[in-house]
Amino acid sequence: MSEQSKSVDPAIIAALRAVLPHSHSPYSKFKVAAAVTDETGAVHYGINIENAAFPVGTCAEQSAIGALVTSGARRIERVVLTGSDVGNLWPCGACRQRIAEFAGPECDVVVVDGAAEVMRTPFWDLLPKAFTLDAG
């Protein structure tokens, strides 16, 4: 079974639930937690961190990607998201571009609620014409 067809590990859902309350989102009240799985199978977590200067806030995906890259990993195999409103939770446009920088060809995006998967899509369906530069 490919990594992409696998259901989300319940341990990842539990970890997302554990970090979601750490979201700093006093302005939008929209808490988000993200998990990104790298090429070694390691999972990196992040939450959204808002700021009184609104544009300075960071998305959960941005935090998680920062942790992945900081660890030395360079590929995103899966993005798992949860939040206050899972019926309306896809990565924003800017985060799609951030994910595109590192996403593998089979990367998928999965939204989970407290217990289970609620939505799933191939990442490249969300940003089929991503801006890229050939880094050589």
- Compute the least distance from the CB of residue 8 to ligand THU, in Å: 17
Q: Is 106 a catalytic residue?
A: no
Point out which residues bind ligand THU (CB under 6 A).
Answer: 25, 28, 30, 32, 48, 50, 57, 59-61, 91-92, 95
Catalytic residue (one of 61, 77, 106, 117): 61
Nearer residue to ligand THU within complex by CB, 96 or 134: 96
φ and ψ of 49, to 5 deg: -130, 100
Residue 43: count of CB within 10 angstroms of its CB = 20
- Compute the least distance from the CB of residue 134 to ligand THU, in Å: 28
Residues in Cβ contact with 115 at an 8 Å cutoff, skipping those fewer than 6 apart: 13
Nearest CA among 21, 24, 63 for reference residue 44: 63
- Compute the least distance from the CB of residue 10 to ligand THU, in Å: 22
CA atoms within 13 A on the CB side of 8: 30
- Where in the sequence numbering do the catalytic residues fall? 61
